[in-house]
Amino acid sequence: MKHYPSLVSNILLLILLTTTSSLFAQTKVLKGRIINEKNQGIANASIKIPDLGIQLYTDSLGNYSLQINNKIADRTVVTYSFLGKETESREYNLQKINSFPAILLKNSTFALDEITVQAKQGQKSNSSLLINRDMIERYPSLSLNDILNFLPNRRIMAPSVQSMQNVNLRGAFAETSGSARNVNQMNNAFGTAIIMDDMVLSNNSNMQSRNPNITGLSRANLSVSSSDYNIGGDNIASNYSGESAFGGVDIRQIPTESIENIEVISGVAPVRYGDITDGAIIVERQAGSTPAFFRLQTRNDATSYGMSKGFKLSPSLGHLNLDLSYVNSYADNRDKLKQYERINGSAIWTIRYGNSDKWKQTISGTYNKTLDGVNKDPDDPESTAVTFGGWNYSVSSRLSYQPNGSFLKHIGFNIGLQEGHQVSYREYYYNDAYVLYTDTTGTGVVEGTYDTGQYTAINHIDGRPISINGRLEANAVAKLAGLTHYLNFGTNVDYSKNNGLGRISDPSRPNKGIGQYSERYYDYSLLHPSWNIGFYLEDRINAKLAGKPLNITAGVRMDLQNGHPSISPRTNLNYKFNDHSSLGLAYGLGFKSPSLAHLYPGPTFMETILLNAYNGLVNESTNRIFVYRFDPKSEQLKPQFSQTLEATFRYAKDGHHLAFNTYYKANRRGFNSTSFREIIELPKYEAIARPGEKPLVEQIGSTKYFIRPSQILNANDIDNLGFEVMYSTPKIPAIYTSFNIAGGFTSSANQDYYNSEKEYNGEGSDPKDITIGIYLPLKRKNFFSQGRMGSSTHFPKLRLIVEMIADFQLINVQKTVKSQYYPLAYYTRDMEYVAVDQFDINNPQHAFLYDQRKKEFEEANDKGNLLYGNFHLNVAKEIGDKLRLSFNVYNFLDYQPRIRRSSGTSLSVLTPNMPPNYGAQITYKF
């Protein structure tokens, strides 16, 4: 904190100097025009100048004008776009031109000689990738997740909404089994922001989970086994959950019908994006006047409908854009037990007013409703039924003013509200002789209550998340020290609260699947909200080095996240050393605050039965139960953070495009639940029976017990090292075909903070048996590599595209460091703690612990790598300018490799590829 005053002073001095220097600058007005293929002006076409934060629109004749400072404006990129047209970008030296040339925007159709086959370079960072509308329309998709198949080092999956969909960027994660999720993967998704129309879709107020201090963070989600809805196979997840607390936003909720483009930032993001550690997905939806758009898609397990239309209300009322979509999907269409159903609707109203339309306001409203879960089997009265559902809406206002002065170019004020209602529900049926429970909420020895053992226990979680975020920022341009500076500065505020009923638990109907733990009602609405406040300044400079363009973007963020301050410097350097090639270097820090679910997991209740004298008659029975209440402290939980260093190389010449990124990303203070073992001594009781009345209870001594409270802490570090590559060839005229490759490699080294444990000899009786071994904190290394090769055959005159992709998993292994074999200490059955100060392989206890750990890790490391491929086909055909047909097959060769995988003495045969998944789509514009 002691450096803050000097930093703020320097920022204010820079702004003062740039403002003063701009007062004496002269200005000029540049005019331009945007036309179509008939040389007609295009009304309401967009002109964006990212460096200045300016967005202009053409008038009814396609004309526009821009006022610039002719002393300081130099090389500037201008982007021209209009819905249904190919986007064009031009670079100008604004000091040397007196007007903009006319820009021709061609219709975006398959009749064009060139089409987009890979994601393009984005504008927000050196390695960001842009997926445009043409690609979104060409490939059938059920949600945003399906479009992200274009990213390198990512396995291509068939479009589906039957599993949770979080975004992970630049990480390698170990496989999990059962209901467990990989905590590192959850932290990566939690640190990846989803930003739609410049408003963050926050998951900070999502609290849909069981108590993570009972189940562990990896198993806190309410889940159901796939066998409960009659689905099986080694290529099917063994458990399903519709909850995404502790992770990222479930992007199954985001339809693609209205998306204009997607920019993916995997590296160092601009400083205006805060509360992130692992990247951002930036989604821009259609607004303004657009043709009516209808899309129908059917797949093996899903049907979707979507439609949208943009209207011009009047010159004074602006434009209104509406869209509606619906998806219905079953895991198995034969029995229809597991279902996912989603309906989305949105309205975007855009109005421009004031002199020369300098004021622009966009008001957006979005509604989403989801029905997700497993229905009860009508043929099985004891079958499982589980529900994950709810609704949410968001409203936002984006107000911008473009003074277009000599210094200040743009002022923006955004404010948005998200609110929802989430419900998770599952029933458990018990048929026992009796149940013994207590509903006490404090620590101590109490007498419990006997009741009938035939009952239904429930997990019922009611969440009502609320998120409010706002941003005030400005863009300016000035000249200082002979260089042009494009400034972006501002502040943002995020507020998160959950007013849900919480975890609705009835202690008289306990869930017996959680061991010695028990649950109590936990009201979310009583919890404190979380606040994140940030300030940022970024300076972009277009300079020259050895006569070649050098672009420098440098900025800093200052954040206060739930009371924890942080400073995040970030920079992107890009040097174009010839007409075809460029090098980039980027460095940055990012911080992600814990969510409400991390901060407020709720109290934990552990119960130990000291006496149970039950003879079948309640009035002649008694008991004693020790209840231990543990209240975790959230104040010590700090934001997780990352530090990224990235280098990029890009080459483009004669239709050849190559992009190569290599990176090192250090993630620190990752969240996880950690337990601490304690020994307590409790009374030992004896009951003396008395006919017709409760027994007499006497204390006859004491017994030692373990208690093991758990809480969420900053618990691990990860070092990620890897590369990504994308390459595409020009079209070969003789065969109308171009080729492309994409892939990458990631190595992730994980280091836990706290010692690990392993239990042994659970069935023995010798008091000196080793029952618990204590070892060093775990160190693991995960390696992942995915590569694909594709061909795109394009016949412009036929308006036909045929694309084939061969997708290969090259590496997917986990290795545990051998130094983890050595024990630190152990407990015996009589609860004696024995430290291993000096390891001795000749000591029987030391050798036992070493051999057991070595066997465990060698079996895990012997699983080996899974190397296999898959093959996909996509065909798209245009009929005229209005009708487009698409046909897509995942695994169109029905390639089913059988892979033998060993683990110690066991052997399994895996079939990693899913059966063919067919999809057809009709798109009609009118």
Q: Do residues 85 and 107 touch, judged by C-beta distance below 8 A?
A: yes
pLDDT at 905: 56
pLDDT band at 16 (very low <50, low <70, confident <90, very high): very low
With residue 551 as reference, give the H or E element that holds it: strand 548-561
Chain center to CA of 891: 26
Q: Average pLDDT over the chain, rounded to whole?
A: 89
Q: Predicted confidence band at 175 (pLDDT cuts at 50, 70, 90)? A: confident
For residue 725, how many C-alpha atoms fall within 13 Å in the half-sphere facing its CB? 12
Check whether 901 has a pLDDT greater than 70: no
Dihedral through CA 917, CA 146, CA 732, CA 806, nearest 10?
-50
Distance in angstroms (rounded) separating the CA atoms of residues 722 and 676: 35
Please report, as a single letter, which amino acid is at residue 571.
Answer: T
Task: Express each pLDDT in 232-255 by its tens digit.
Answer: 555 556 688 899 999 999 999 999
CA distances from 32 to 65, 215, 315, 464, 480 (A): 6, 63, 22, 50, 29
Q: Do the beta carbons of residue 722 and residue 170 sit within 8 Å?
A: yes
Average pLDDT over residues 75-97: 83
pLDDT more than 90, % of the chain:
66
**Nearest 10 degrees: Cα torsion 200, 201, 206, 212:** -80
Indicate whether 409 pLDDT > 80.
Answer: yes
Q: What percent of the chain has pLDDT over 70?
A: 94
Task: Give the mean model confidence (pLDDT) for residues 802-819.
Answer: 90
* Nearest Cα to Cα of residue 34 among 103, 91, 81: 103
Distance CA 223, CA 217 (A): 13
Higher-scoring residue by pLDDT: 337, 871: 871
- Dihedral Cα 170, 175, 178, 179, nearest 10 deg: -20
pLDDT (mean) for 694-720: 94
- C-alpha to C-alpha distance for 137 and 878, rounded to whole angstroms: 12
DSSP helix/strand/coil, 679: strand
pLDDT at 58 over 50: yes
Among 405-409, 545-549, 761-765, the range with the most confident prediction by mean pLDDT is 545-549
- Between CA 838 and CA 836 the distance in angstroms is 6
Mean pLDDT (whole number) for 755-782: 91
According to DSSP, residue 733 is labeled T
CB-count exposure of residue 615 (10 Å: 0-12, 13-18, 19+): exposed
**Using one digit for the tens of pLDDT, what is the confidence trace for 495-537?**
999 999 999 999 999 998 888 899 999 999 999 999 999 999 9
Whether the predicted pLDDT of 72 surpasses 70:
no
pLDDT at residue 376 tops 60:
yes
Do residues 11 and 487 touch, judged by C-beta distance below 8 A?
A: no
The Cβ-side half-sphere exposure at 403, using a 13 Å CA radius, reads 13
Q: Is residue 178 over pLDDT 80?
A: no
Confidence check: pLDDT of 8 > 60? no
**Nearest CA among 469, 462, 473, 591 for reference residue 529:** 469
Whole-prediction pTM = 0.92
The distance in angstroms from the start CA to the end CA of the chain is 59
Q: Give the distance from CA 474 to its chain's centroid.
A: 28
**Is residue 618 pLDDT above 90, yes or no?**
yes
3-state secondary structure 850-886: HHHHHHHHHHHHCCCCCCEEEEEEEEEEEECCCEEEE
